[in-house]
Structure 1
Amino acid sequence: MPTNANISSIEEAKAFLEKHNIDTIRVGAVDLDGLWRGKQFGAEYFLNSVVENGTNIANVLFGWDVEDEVVEGLAYTNWETGYPDIKLIPDLTTLRLIPWEPRVASVICEMVEMDMTPVVLSPRNILRKAVEKANAMGYQPKAAYEFEFYLFEGSIADMAEGDYRTLRPARRAGHTYSMLHYATSDDLFGQLRRYIQEAGLTIEATISEHGPGQFEFNLEYDDALAAADGALFAKYAVKELATQNGMTACFMAKPNAAWSGSSGHMHMSLSDMDGNPLFNNAEDPLMLSDLGLSFLAGMKENSRIMSAIYQPNVNSYKRTMNVGAWAAANSSWGIDNRTVSFRAIPSKGPAARIENRIPGADTNPYLVIAASLLCGLKGVETGMDAGEPFKGNAYRATPEQATPLASSLEEAAHLFADSPMVRELFGEEFVDHYVRMKRWELLRMNSKVTDWELNRYLEVI
C-alpha cells in the first residue's frame, strides 16, 4: 500500500511520522538546474519548528551553477548583496517515505523571501502560477513524465579517477524492448517499482532502451504540479538506488557521442474543473478536440523560443544533432508519429493527450511542464490553428515545413532573451536571470580544453 497520505496539517504529519517510526526528514526545493537542494532534520524539530516556520537557506541556490561555482553578473543575488537567506516552507502534501532509507522521509518546499513573498526564480512557483492561470481559464492541467537514462558500473568516484574516459555501461549493447537485458538490472528495477509504489507514486513501465545500459521509466499521469514533484522524486530514487546497487545512473542528454541520447518526454492534457477530459474528440476519435488542437498549436508555434527550457545545457544539443536520432529538432506535430516534436495521441476518453518529445532527460520538470502549459494556453487564448499534421519522417522536414529549434545553447539563450512573449509569460526578472545562467554555462565550456581539441590539433598545428 502507498505510504504517503496527501497530508495537509501538522497533526496529520505527526501521525504519519509516528506510524512509520520516522526520525529523519529531508527538506528541500528544486533549483533552476533541476537539482534538489535542502537540509535534513530530526522528526521532533521538523514538527515543532520547520513545518510551521520553515527553514532559512542562503539564496546562493540561485547564485551558483551545477558545480557550486558562483555566477558573476547576477542581479538577484551576488557578492554585494551578501547572499542573504530565503525560506523553504514545506508543502505537506508532498511528505512521503524514502522507503530505501530506513526511518527517512522527504518533503518538497515552496521558496519564499523573508517577507513571505514567493521567490520569483523558483521553478515550482513558476509552475504553480501557470497552473493557477489554467485554473482561472477553467482548466485543470494533467501531465506525466518519461525519463531515459544510462546505468554505468561503478561509482562516480571511480569514474572521476579515470576522467570519465572508461565508462562501463551496465550492458554492452542496446536492444529496445528486449526482455533479456533486465538480467543485469533486475534488482534495481524491482526495487524501483516497489519503493516508488510504497512512496505513493506509480511507475507504469520500465523499458530496455536503445543505448548500451540505457533504460526508461514511465510515471503515471497526475495533476501538473504533482507530476513535476513525482518526476523529481523518481529521478532521485533512481540515482540513489543505482548507488546502492554499485552503479551510477546518468541523466545527461548525451553521455557518449556514439550512443543514443536520453529523452525526458512529457505528456499533457487538460480537464475541466470537474475532471472531465477535454482533448478527446467525440465526433472523431482519431483526432484531438478543437481545444486540444489549439493547445497543441500554441506548444508547437512557440517551441523554438522555448529551446532554452527544453534543451537547457551545452550537452543537450549533442542529442539533437544527428538526423533520425529519436530526438525532435523542429516545430512539427503529427498523429502518433514519433519523428515529430509534438505527438498527438487521440483517444475516446481521458487518454487523449499531447506528447512533447523535445526535452532531454537533463531538463527541469517544473520548467518543462510550465513552459508547455503556458504556450498551450496561449494557443487556446488566441484560437491558434495547428495546421495539417506532418506525415512521414519529420527528421527530414525542410525549414519551410517545420521551423528548426535552436541548434545550440548560445542560440537558445538569444531567442529566450529577445522574445517579448517569453518575458510576458515568465517575467523580466526570471528571463534575465535564466539567460545569464545559460551564458555562464557557455563561458565555462569555452574556457576548457577538450580531448577533441587535443586529438585534432596537438600534433598537426
Structure 2
Amino acid sequence: MTDPQFALAATERASAGPRRLAQPLKQLLDGLSTPGRPVESVWLTVVDPHGRLKGKRYSRAHFESTHAFDMCGYLMASDGRNNPLPTVRGWDAGYPDMTVLPDAESIAVMPAHRRVAHLFAQALDAAGDPLAVDPHTILDRQLRRLSQLGLHAKIGLETEFVLFHGTREDLHRSGYRSPRPAFARNLDYSADPPPAVHSYIGTLSRALTASGHPVEAIKCEGAPGQLEITFPYGDPLNACRQHLRMQMAAMRLAERARMTASFMAAPDTGVGSGFHVHLSLWKSDDPVFAEPDGDEAGTDLLEQAIGGLLQVLPEMAPLYAPTVNSYRRYQDDSFAPTHFNWGNDNRTCAVRVIGEGASRHLEIRLPGADSNPFLTVAAVIAGIVHGLTHGTKPPQAVTGNGYADPSPIVPGSLDDALQRFEAGQAAHDALGGDVVTHYTALGRATSSDHARRVTDTDREMWFSRA
C-alpha cells in the first residue's frame, strides 16, 4: 500500500506533511510516567478504514531505541474481517510494509490499561508523504482546506452504544442470538440505573479521566441497555483520537464486568445508536456562528455551512454510514434522520441548529455509532468548506416533523450510497478520485460479503415455507 496511486498530489505534499517528532521518545514517555508507575510499554496504532485501532504493543526499551516503524500495508486495504481485498491493489505488489510515523501530539496513557502509553501514527507512502487513503490524512486534508479560509473548527462528539450481558466470546459462541441488554426498558435520563450499569458508568468515567480524556457526561438512553457519552468541545483530530480510545476502554471495561459494549448502528430491530457531531467555526478566538447583533455575517456563514452539508453529505454517506447495518438505523420516528434537511432545535432533522449567542452551533445527526470518526468528521468539514466556497444557500428550515418533509431522503442501503459516492462530483473534488475509488471498493466488498450470507431472518422467513 505504498503504491504511488495512493500518494497525495504533489501540490498538496508541502502543506499536508506529517508531524515529525519534535522531542525524543524517552522524553515523551517520561512525561506520562508518575512516581512508582513508569510507562512500561507503548501501543503504536494507525486508524484503519473501518475506524479500528491497528498496531503493535512495543516494549518501552525497544520503542525508545527505534527510529523507523513499519506495518503491513494491507491494514489500509482489508475488509471488516481483516481479509485483504483483491479489488484493491496489493497482491500484485506483495503487500509490502508501509512506514508509519508516530504523532507526538497524540501521546496519552491508554485508558483502562496500567503503565501503557498510546500514540497514533500516520501512514506514509513510498516517497515519505502522507498516504492519501489513511483516514488520518483524509481528515487532516479537510482541516487544512478549512484553514485556508481563515477558519478552524471545534467539535464535540456524542455517541451511543448498547451494553449486553455476556462477554464477546460468550456472544460469539451463541451466534449472537437473542443477546440480553444490560437493562430491559427505556431508562432515558434515569438517575437510577441497575447497580451493575451504575458501577460500569463510574468505572468508565474514572478510567477516561485518569488517562487525560475527561468526559462531559454519561447517561442512560432510550433503548434497552443503551448509554450515551459526550465529550467537551475541542480540536477535531484530538476529539477523534479521544473517541477511539473511549471505544477501546468501553469495550475492555465491559468485558471485565462480563458484559459487551456494542457500537453497531442498529444492534436490534427498532434500536439505533447514533454518533452526533457538534460543530462550531472560529476565526481566531471569535465564534463565527454567533447570533448577530446588528451584523448578519454570522447567520450568512451558518446558512452557507448548512447549505454545503445538505449538498455534499448525500454523496458522502459511505464515510459516515459504512456498513449494511448502518442503513437500518434510518427509520421514521426514531430520532435518526431520514431526510437531508435542517431545523432549529429540531431532532427530527439531519442538521440541527442549537444554542444561543456565542454558543450557537450545528449538530450533525446523520452518522451512526459504527462510523469511523476520522472519515465522518472529514465528510462534515468537506461539506462546510463546499458551502462556504460556493456561497451555498440551504432550503427553508423545517419547523415541524422532519420525517414528513419532502426533502431528499437518506440512501436506503449501502449499495445506493456507494453509487452516489462513486458518481458524486463533490466527493471527488473534496477527497480525490483515488480515495473515492478505494473506499468504494471497500464498501462494495462489505456489501458483497453480506449479500451472500444466509441470515437468521432468511431461516425464520423461509426454512419451513420454501
**Equivalent residue, structure 1, for 2:419:** 414
- Counterpart of 1:55 in structure 2 is 69
Match of 2:349 in 1: 340
* Cα-to-partner distance string for 1:10-64 (whole Å, 9 max, x where unaligned): 2630422444401011110111110110000111221221xxx341100011221
C-alpha distance after superposition, 1:161-195 (max 9, x if no partner): 11111311111112211112253312221122122
Amino acid in the other structure paired with 1:344: V
Matches within 5 A, 1:156-171: 156-171=168-183
Cα deviation, residue 323, structure 1: 1.0
Cα distance, 1:288 vs structure 2: 5.8
Are 2:82 and 1:72 equivalent residues in the alignment?
no
1:431 aligns with 2:436: yes
CA distance in structure 2 between the partners assigned to 1:389 and 1:54 by the alignment:
52
Aligned residue identity for 1:360: G
Contact residue 286 and residue 347 of structure 1 kept, 8 A:
no
> Map of 1:330-369 to 2, 5 A cutoff?
330-349=339-358, 351-369=359-377
Give the TM-score, by structure 2 length: 0.92
Which residue is equivalent to 1:372? 380
2:266 corresponds to 1:254 = yes
Among 223, 244, 266, the alignment partner of 2:277 is: 266
Moved over 6 A (4+): 284-287
Please give the alpha-carbon distance, in whole angstroms, between the structure 2 residues aligned to 1:300 and 1:374: 11
Shift of 1:84: 0.5
**CA distance, structure 1, for counterparts of residue 459 and residue 151 of structure 2:** 54
Match of 1:458 in 2: 463
Task: Work out whether residues 153 and 280 of structure 2, in 8 Å CA contact, stay in contact via their aligned partners in 1.
Answer: yes
CA distance in structure 2 between the aligned counterparts of 1:36 and 1:54, rounded to whole angstroms: 19
- Residue number in structure 2 paired with 1:319: 329
Deviations 1:69-91 (CA, angstroms, capped at 9, x unpaired): 2222113x2x2111111122111
* Letter of the structure 2 residue corresponding to residue 104 of structure 1: V
Q: Is the 8 A contact 1:298 1:378 kept in 2?
A: yes
Letter in 2 for 1:409: L
Partner deviation per Cα, 1:234-289 (whole Å, 9 max, x = no partner): 1111111111221110000011114x2000011111111x2221111232899962
Task: Report SS of the residue matched to 2:316.
Answer: helix
C-alpha distance in 2, partners of 1:143/1:294?
A: 18
Identity %: 28
Structure 1 residue 335, shift from structure 2 partner? 0.4
Pairing of 1:10-25 with structure 2 (within 5 A): 10=24, 12-19=27-34, 20-25=37-42
CA distances 1:196-246 after superposition (whole Å, capped 9, x unpaired): 112222211111111111100001111111111111111111111111221
Pick from 96, 104, 113 the counterpart of residue 92 of structure 1.
104
The aligned counterpart of 2:314 is 304
Give the paired residue count: 443
- Asked if residue 112 in structure 1 is aligned to residue 124 in structure 2, the reply is yes
* 8 Å CA contact 1:8, 1:93 repeated in 2: no
Distance 1:176 1:120, change over 3 A: same
Partner of 2:5: none
Q: Match for residue 292 of structure 2?
A: 282
Q: 1:182 to 1:146 in 2, by over 3 A?
A: farther
**What is the DSSP-based 3-state SS (H/G/I as helix, E as strand, rest coil) of the residue aligned with 1:102?**
coil
- Residue 222 of structure 1 aligns to a residue whose secondary structure is coil
Q: CA deviation at 1:112?
A: 0.8
Which residue, 42, 46, 69 being the options, matches 2:59? Answer: 42
What RMSD, in angstroms, separates the aligned Cα atoms of the two structures?
A: 1.8
What is aligned with 1:209?
221
> Which of 10, 23, 26 lines up with 1:9 in the alignment?
23
Q: Distance in 1 between matches of 2:179 and 2:27?
A: 46
In 1, the alpha carbon distance for the partners of 2:310 and 2:238 equals 24
